[in-house]
């Protein structure tokens, strides 16, 4: 045998060994979706996942497709006429609680302007086949009821390694040579707790100024990427889980779950605008409040309703790896990108008036959040498990100079909103009845959202909105009208798996099973690398 042949044989044997040691999809591919338009698609106290058909508990900043509204049955999101996402065929809606600045001097609450928002679609290394979300699928990440740091304090998205920490705050600083949180902070006394694996991130709001280049305070939310097969897509509480490392450099979903893209959302808030209004930086207190009244930041969460064109997302999974260049730049992606004009003209008017008005950034009347949510915070000492429904504790200690805020929580009163263009009636009780009784119907769904297309030069005034509606104004009939059609899940075809490298999976109900994976996951490290490859 010639020497060169021997070398070639050895090389091929070596590469075979490497292949065998890696996951079927050996490395992560990814691309981003960024939102254009005028900051949010809308600001609105609606939540079609958690509070369908009624006013939601707190204000949301919403991104994506124009079909966002109080009630979004089935795959209604997909049928949106426009989107603020720069990928044209992504009509999904994404939303987070809005952020407020609370003056340490006088307690006044100011809505913080959105800086921008961006979503990463990570197609992770895996032995599974990554599939698009099922039609009508919806999910949550994070937990609005949390007021305490994670326990244990670890950065973990691996279901085989204990509690998942799906949300974080990132605070890019011009000088980040020191940790973001004082090492003495355990996250229970007025400021958050440091991520031991990343000096620029942690849980709970930081008390430092986030003055990194083009990067103020950032909310980070990782959605789960395992979706239970044949689950009711609206059963957002139990239909998902996080994957586990497979010991081969990738991550797999448990048997009975579809592996969908890992959606990671970054929401930047223009916190620098208030930098002169709180001189007490680094002193263990911070001024940020989420719209649900949370003064700790632990309750950060996000919601997602699938509005993707299925083929487009499948194409992206199979063919695209543009990274921070954005999925919209991927060659051959069906639909391509959304133009600036299209993004700018894609609007949704919140039927509750309190969100979208031009004076949104004015101080909150009577120092109250929309929905009268009381401020709550660091009196909690116990970690409430994600999904737990324990009511948030009411903040007991306040700075002496701060006027007391309302601490009464009333069940939402019926809201009747009337204008020349729409009528929305919401009643919590009636909604519950409607939900329970919702029969199957084939009648066309009716919604309360206006999609408004304007020439980009026009002012965003109510008058303009009322006269430029390109979609007929629709009304939601929570009170006595026809209920939305029942959603029937389409059976999801399970692809045949390659038999060779896939580890044997045992049937299971949850994600937290794989105790055998020895390799520490490099997942978050990869993620951080991807992020730091960004332009900030
Ligand atoms: C409240 O305090 C801030 C400084 O934190 C100040 O800029 C603002 O003008 C004050 N507002 C009122 C209504 O006094």
SS (H, E, C) 320-335: CCCECCCHHHCCCCCC
Please give the sequence-ordered ranges of beta strands (E in DSSP) within 204-246, or none if there are none: 218-222, 226-228, 240-241, 244-245
pLDDT at 98 over 70: yes
Whether 362 lines ligand 1, by a CB cut-off of 6 Å, is no
Residue nearest to ligand 1 atom 1, measured at CA: 106
Residue 497: per-residue pLDDT: 40
Residue 379: per-residue pLDDT: 66
Q: Give the integer Cα–Cα distance in Å for 37 and 344.
A: 4
Q: Give the integer Cα–Cα distance in Å for 11 and 146.
A: 53
Residue 19: per-residue pLDDT: 46
Q: Give the integer Cα–Cα distance in Å for 248 and 498.
A: 15
Check residues 358 and 439 and name the one with the higher pLDDT.
358
Q: Which atom of ligand 1 is nearest to the CA of 106?
A: 1
Q: How many angstroms separate the alpha carbon of residue 275 from the centre of ligand 1? A: 13
- The stretch 492-510 carries a mean pLDDT of 38
Residue 391: per-residue pLDDT: 35
In this structure, are strands 114-123 and 29-34 parallel, antiparallel, or unpaired? antiparallel
Residues sharing a CB contact under 8 Å with residue 469, sequence separation 6 or more, in sequence order: 421, 450, 451, 452
Whether 360 lines ligand 1, by a CB cut-off of 6 Å, is no
- Record the tokens describing residue 398, joined without a space: 């306040």
Whether 103 lines ligand 1, by a CB cut-off of 6 Å, is yes
List the helix and strand counts (H, then E) for the chain. Answer: 6, 24
- Choosing from 100, 101, 102, 106 the residue with most ligand 1 atoms within 8 A of its CB, the one to mutate for a pocket test is 106
Cα distance from N-terminal residue to C-terminal residue, the chain: 55
Q: How many angstroms separate the alpha carbon of residue 106 from the centre of ligand 1? A: 6
Residue nearest to ligand 1 atom 10, measured at CA: 106
pLDDT at 382 over 80: no
Q: Which atom of ligand 1 is nearest to the CA of 108?
A: 1
Share of the chain above pLDDT 70, in %: 66
- The stretch 130-148 carries a mean pLDDT of 96
pLDDT at 55 over 50: yes
Whether 105 lines ligand 1, by a CB cut-off of 6 Å, is yes
- The stretch 67-77 carries a mean pLDDT of 96
pTM: 0.73
Q: How many angstroms separate the alpha carbon of residue 440 from the centre of ligand 1? A: 54
In this structure, are strands 114-123 and 42-46 parallel, antiparallel, or unpaired? unpaired
**Tens digit of pLDDT for each residue in 244-282?**
999 999 999 999 999 999 999 999 999 999 999 999 999
Whether 475 lines ligand 1, by a CB cut-off of 6 Å, is no
The mean-pLDDT minimum among 38-42, 221-225, 461-465, 497-501 falls in: 461-465
Residue nearest to ligand 1 atom 6, measured at CA: 277
Check residues 536 and 102 and name the one with the higher pLDDT.
102
């Amino acid at each position: 045998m010639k020497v060169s042949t021997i070398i070639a044989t050895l090389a091929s044997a070596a590469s075979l060994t490497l292949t065998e040691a890696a996951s079927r999809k050996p490395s992560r591919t990814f691309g981003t979706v960024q939102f254009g338009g005028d900051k949010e698609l809308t600001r609105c106290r609606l939540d079609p996942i958690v509070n369908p058909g009624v006013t939601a508990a707190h204000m949301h900043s919403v991104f994506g497709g124009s079909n966002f509204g109080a009630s979004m049955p089935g795959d209604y999101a997909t049928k949106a006429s426009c989107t603020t996402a720069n990928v044209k065929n992504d009509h999904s809606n994404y939303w987070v609680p809005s952020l407020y600045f609370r003056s340490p001097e006088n307690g006044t609450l100011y809505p913080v302007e959105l800086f921008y928002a961006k979503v990463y679609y990570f197609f992770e290394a895996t032995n599974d086949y990554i599939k698009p979300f099922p039609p009508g699928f919806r999910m949550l990440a994070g937990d609005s009821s949390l007021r305490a740091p994670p326990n244990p304090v670890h950065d973990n998205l691996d279901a085989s390694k204990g509690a998942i920490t799906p949300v974080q705050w990132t605070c890019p600083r011009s000088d980040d040579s020191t940790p973001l949180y004082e090492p003495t902070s355990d996250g229970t006394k007025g400021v958050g707790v440091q991520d031991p694996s990343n000096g620029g991130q942690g849980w709970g709001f930081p008390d430092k100024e986030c003055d990194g280049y083009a990067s103020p305070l950032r909310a980070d939310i990782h959605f789960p990427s395992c979706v239970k097969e044949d689950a009711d897509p609206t059963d957002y509480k139990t239909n998902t889980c996080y994957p586990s490392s497979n010991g081969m450099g990738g991550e797999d979903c448990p048997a009975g779950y579809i592996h969908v893209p890992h959606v990671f959302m970054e929401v930047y808030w223009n916190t620098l605008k208030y930098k002169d209004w709180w001189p007490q930086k680094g002193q263990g207190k911070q001024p940020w409040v989420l719209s649900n009244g949370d003064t700790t930041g632990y309750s950060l969460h996000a919601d997602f309703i699938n509005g993707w064109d299925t083929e487009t997302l499948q194409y992206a999974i199979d063919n695209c790896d543009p990274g921070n260049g954005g999925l919209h730049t991927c060659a051959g992606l069906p639909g391509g990108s959304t133009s600036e004009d299209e993004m700018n003209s894609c609007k949704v008017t919140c039927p509750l008036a309190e969100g979208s008005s031009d004076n949104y950034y004015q101080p909150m009347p009577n120092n109250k959040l929309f929905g009268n949510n009381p401020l709550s915070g660091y009196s909690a000492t116990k970690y409430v498990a994600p999904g737990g429904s324990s009511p948030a504790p009411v903040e007991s200690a306040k700075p002496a100079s701060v006027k007391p805020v309302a601490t009464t929580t009333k069940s939402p009163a019926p809201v009747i909103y009337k204008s020349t263009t729409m009528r929305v009636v919401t009643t919590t009780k009636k909604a519950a009845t409607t939900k329970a009784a919702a029969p199957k119907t084939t009648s066309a769904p009716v919604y309360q959202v206006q999609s408004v297309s304007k020439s980009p030069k026009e002012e965003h005034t109510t008058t303009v909105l009322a006269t430029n509606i390109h979609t007929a104004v629709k009304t939601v009939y929570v009170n006595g009208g026809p209920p939305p059609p029942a959603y029937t899940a389409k059976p999801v075809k399970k692809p045949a798996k390659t038999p060779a490298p896939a580890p044997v999976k045992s049937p299971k109900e949850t994600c937290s099973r794989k105790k055998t994976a020895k390799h520490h996951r490099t997942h978050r490290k990869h993620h951080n690398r991807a992020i730091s490859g960004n332009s900030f």
